[in-house]
Structure 1
Amino acid sequence: MYRRSVRRLAIVAATAMALATAPSAWAATASSTASDSFYTYDGSAPLSAFAPGTVLKTRTVRYHIVGIATPVTAIQLLYRTTDAQGRPAANVTSVVRSSTGDSTKAVSYQSFYDSLNPQDGPSRAIAGKVTLGGTLANFESAALSALLLQGDNLVIPDTEGQSADFAAGPEYGFNTLDSIRAAINSPSTGLNGATKFGLLGYSGGSIATDWAAALAPTYAPDVNENLVGFAEGGLLVAPAHNLKYVNGSVVWSGVIPMSIVGVSRSFGIDLTPYLNSYGLQVYHRLQNGSLLDAFGHYPGLTWQQIAKPQYADPDSVAPFVEAVNRVNLGSAPTPTVPGYIAQGDGGVLEGTFADPPGIGTGDGVMVAGDVRALADQYCATGDRSISYDQYDLLSHVGTAPVWAPKAVSWLDDRFAGKPAPSDCGHIPAGNSLAPERTVPPS
């Protein structure tokens, strides 16, 4: 109990320091890594010549908290991975060694930076870049210092890749798994093939966490062997449901155009023919937007306001339906390692009052019934080591601080070799996670 209290105090103190130092750091470092050649693969051999997880470049940087350099160093790796369309790609991850730990365990932490701008990634925040869109990643770097203090090594991938492919779940998973491979492959990190890994992420970070756990048995069985479990909260499961849930919401409706940009970019499809003039205006405005550019900026926005009249039903846009079905976790494999999943259901606190038939309520942006359904699906098709918490009176933002200490404690127990608890058989029924069906335009 004492250890947990210290951890919570450390997280609060670190976050407070980040908030206090943010204004002074902003002006000094806003463009410090704007043009950084480290992110570019410039080798003579094609990327396809390298196995996923191959390290292409290595550098050491100071670990920054909101632009302020700390005595801690981070090893940053450019590595080979796979994008949403299955093509070879290069991505960056950051490995931070704890001064009090050893090489036996590491936490792969997936950030919730949620941005369409590659400049907002966690690796750039760690290297000292401060941007408005990277605010979340910068504040996370403060909170993560608590994990370092308790002896956990950290591996922090840029989950969205170098194109900032927002919400492209499978790519998030590939980037995360190959980040772990790169950390093991690099002699600079001190991690090795015997290091045990735990996956940790909330919101956008939970997308990467769950997809990594789901894809590991087939895409990276070598990594899967060393996973002790995954802990996540505020999970995006069936994006087509989320689109209908946040439609017209006060705060979260801005994710509708963000998802359109993200889907278009990730899967190489053109959705502009389906948008009206206002929709095109918003679409182009958010090309490099972050969650902070969308959160609360489009109160009451609906799909119908940005789509042409004949496409008032999003299911009438065939390429969009195809893309969102590809990122539906209900159609993905089941993880083979234990998991802890938490979800809020107090979305009215964040201005989402919708309760669509067959979808129901959520935390303001994520659908609680979808998360319950996925947890039940994992129980039915996996090893039944799934723990689930639902907080009916907490919103998306409000659930995070409740989830975090329990998630870290849950991972600590998995690293310690304790049997994973299970709520299987006690999780209420959820929604159907069947793929969406395309309907004719009206």
Structure 2
Amino acid sequence: MSAPTRMLAAAVTAAACLGTTAVPAAAASPSDDAVVSRGVTIPAFYNPPASLPAADGALVRSERLPLALSLPGIDGPLPGRATRLMYKSTDSGGRPVAVTGAYLEPTAAWRGSGPRPLVAVAPGTMGQGDQCAASLGLERPLLLNGQTLSVGYELLAIYRLLARGVAVVVTDYAGLGATDRLHTYVNRVDEAHAVLDAVRAARSLPGTSLTDDSRVALYGYSQGGGATAAAAELQPVYAPDVPLAGTYAGAPPADLVAVTKAIDGSGLAGALGWSVSGFVQSDPELKPIADAHLNAAGKAALKDLSTMCVGDALFSYHGVRSNTWTTDGRSLGDIIESVPALRAFLADQRIGTHRPASPVRIATGTADDLVPHGQARGLAVDWCAKGAAVTYKPVVLLPLGDGLVNHVTPLLADQGEALSWLTDRLDGKPARSDCSTLPWRP
């Protein structure tokens, strides 16, 4: 069994354990303006209106969201009740953007100090097709219809938080789910704003147990780790009304130049296509550069990937090298190094240039060569140099023979400790800083 097959089998098993089954494409007949992505009709809820509210985080609409697993309990359904959200955010170009997501109100009581707290969950890589949105995954964690494969693997962390009595808000990010634009994959500003505005949206949702004094924390791994890391350092300026008790950033892609080189030819090579398409969405001035350097195969791959979920890409683009997509046979990494506009764009995507005002926990697998350990550790060093309070956790594991396995295993190995660290911050307990010992640790 190949590595991607093993990983998908494990993810599918996890989804099945949460009480779901493979489901067909949406049965509703699509209307003339319905968006259909790889046989899946996106609910009309995800179509943004013509105009948006002025305030970032303002609710555009909400509706009940049926969870895939919901059991009767003495105090209410377990693990809780979910609400689908659409809210207003601002993208990296200063433009208004509709973002979707979900709020989950737990049935379990919060047993820490203060009112019920809130954690914003930034999902890991889901793909670029609208059907891959994390909020849709809460309703159907395993989507398998012969055209697409999507697994809602963030459910494990979400349900563990709900069991602790912590409310959760999940963002789909800009352009994932909401059908009016392409998802700007790993754009640090778009993702950070989407995370912080999700907190604002959850706070304004009527009928929740949140109060103005509810502590807030952020949780994310991989793409989600980059999103929460960016949110933590942009929060003091973009969202001073959203003070953070703590942020968990697992395996954050802080340096996209290093990550681009690492994933080229890997099991996650398809993410290169999502990145390029997302960059062009963020900055249309990059489109002529992309057109000039991509050959017919590269352009076809980007179009194909733009509607794929991560499961599809693992099978269809596993091991692909980007030099097969370019007009001159150079890799995308080499082209980035040679084109000033691309270098400048990726330099602006670097996380670690601003100091978070609240405690941050960075965890990274020492054997992770997909989102390289060195650049994630470098983020911790950069923040320490700026005076941030950083808890650094190297997850020391032996290399397991495949980049995807080396990348995902630390998520599972460290998740319990990561959630406990977050819960302590939400309980008002102080965080220690590892900055004094970081230079001598792996």
TM-score interval w.r.t. the shorter chain? 0.7 to 0.9
CA distance in 1 between partners of 2:78 and 2:342 (Å): 44
Residue in 1 aligned with 2:210?
Answer: 191
Q: Deviations over 1:386-437 (max 9, x none)?
A: 333242525101111112111001111112222212211222489xxxxxxx
> What is the letter of the counterpart of residue 399 of structure 1?
P
CA distance in 2 between partners of 1:338 and 1:288 (Å): 37
Residue in 1 aligned with 2:417?
Answer: 406
Residue in 2 aligned with 1:372?
Answer: 377
CA distance in 1 between partners of 2:149 and 2:82 (Å): 18
The alpha-carbon distance between structure 1 residues 428 and 390, as it changes in their structure 2 partners (threshold 3 A), is: farther
The structure 1 residue matched to 2:407, chosen from 396, 399, 406, is 396
> What is the letter of the counterpart of residue 261 of structure 1?
S
> What is the letter of the counterpart of residue 436 of structure 2?
G
1:275 aligns with 2:287: no
> What is the letter of the counterpart of residue 88 of structure 1?
P
| Pairing 1:123-202 to 2, within 5 Å after superposition | 123-128=135-140, 130-132=142-144, 135-136=150-151, 138-161=152-175, 162=178, 163-202=182-221
- Deviation (angstroms), 1:307: 1.5
8 Å Cα contact 1:340/1:387 also seen in 2: yes
- Deviation (angstroms), 1:76: 2.0
Q: Deviations over 1:226-271 (max 9, x none)?
A: x11001211101111111223334x233322232222222333311
Residue in 2 aligned with 1:359?
Answer: none
CA distance in 2 between partners of 1:317 and 1:390 (Å): 36
The structure 1 residue matched to 2:250, chosen from 233, 237, 250, is 233
Partner secondary structure for residue 38 of structure 1: helix
Residue in 1 aligned with 2:342?
Answer: 320
The alpha-carbon distance between structure 1 residues 428 and 264, as it changes in their structure 2 partners (threshold 3 A), is: same
1:330 aligns with 2:359: no
CA distance in 2 between partners of 1:14 and 1:272 (Å): 36
Q: TM-score, normalised by structure 1?
A: 0.80
> What is the letter of the counterpart of residue 46 of structure 2?
Y
CA distance in 2 between partners of 1:193 and 1:370 (Å): 37
C-alpha RMSD of matched pairs (Å): 3.0
Which runs of 5 or more structure 2 residues have no equivalent in the other structure? 1-9, 30-39, 71-76, 400-405
> What is the letter of the counterpart of residue 154 of structure 2?
E
Which of the pair is proportionally richer in helix?
A: 1
8 Å Cα contact 1:341/1:388 also seen in 2: yes
Which runs of 5 or more structure 1 residues have no equivalent in the other structure? 1-12, 347-362, 431-442
> What is the letter of the counterpart of residue 345 of structure 1?
T
- Deviation (angstroms), 1:129: 7.4
The structure 2 residue matched to 1:42, chosen from 43, 49, 67, is 49
- Deviation (angstroms), 1:51: 0.7
1:51 aligns with 2:58: no
Partner secondary structure for residue 436 of structure 2: coil
The alpha-carbon distance between structure 1 residues 402 and 35, as it changes in their structure 2 partners (threshold 3 A), is: closer
> What is the letter of the counterpart of residue 271 of structure 2?
V
8 Å Cα contact 2:20/2:140 also seen in 1: no
Q: TM-score, normalised by structure 2?
A: 0.80
Partner secondary structure for residue 378 of structure 2: helix
Task: Judge which range, 199-208 or 55-64, deviates more.
Answer: 55-64
| Pairing 1:90-101 to 2, within 5 Å after superposition | 90-101=98-109
8 Å Cα contact 1:373/1:429 also seen in 2: no
CA distance in 2 between partners of 1:284 and 1:216 (Å): 34
- Deviation (angstroms), 1:84: 2.9
- Deviation (angstroms), 1:300: 4.2
> What is the letter of the counterpart of residue 85 of structure 1?
G
The structure 2 residue matched to 1:120, chosen from 118, 132, 138, is 132
8 Å Cα contact 1:101/1:153 also seen in 2: no
- Deviation (angstroms), 1:296: 5.4
Residue in 1 aligned with 2:270?
Answer: 254
Residue in 2 aligned with 1:108?
Answer: 120
- Deviation (angstroms), 1:15: 8.4
> What is the letter of the counterpart of residue 160 of structure 2?
A
- Deviation (angstroms), 1:107: 1.4
8 Å Cα contact 2:186/2:223 also seen in 1: yes
The alpha-carbon distance between structure 1 residues 99 and 334, as it changes in their structure 2 partners (threshold 3 A), is: same
> What is the letter of the counterpart of residue 222 of structure 1?
D
Task: Judge which range, 214-223 or 392-401, deviates more.
Answer: 392-401
> What is the letter of the counterpart of residue 121 of structure 1?
A
The alpha-carbon distance between structure 1 residues 412 and 23, as it changes in their structure 2 partners (threshold 3 A), is: closer
- Deviation (angstroms), 1:14: 11
Percent identity between the aligned chains?
A: 28
The structure 2 residue matched to 1:345, chosen from 356, 366, 372, is 366
The alpha-carbon distance between structure 1 residues 240 and 65, as it changes in their structure 2 partners (threshold 3 A), is: farther
- Deviation (angstroms), 1:142: 4.7
What is the aligned length?
Answer: 393
The alpha-carbon distance between structure 1 residues 387 and 143, as it changes in their structure 2 partners (threshold 3 A), is: closer
Q: Deviations over 1:289-348 (max 9, x none)?
A: 2222332543543332222228652222344333322221133x22111111111132xx
8 Å Cα contact 1:185/1:192 also seen in 2: no
The alpha-carbon distance between structure 1 residues 28 and 220, as it changes in their structure 2 partners (threshold 3 A), is: same
- Deviation (angstroms), 1:89: 0.9
The alpha-carbon distance between structure 1 residues 400 and 175, as it changes in their structure 2 partners (threshold 3 A), is: same
The structure 1 residue matched to 2:312, chosen from 287, 293, 296, is 293
Partner secondary structure for residue 410 of structure 2: helix
8 Å Cα contact 1:119/1:134 also seen in 2: no
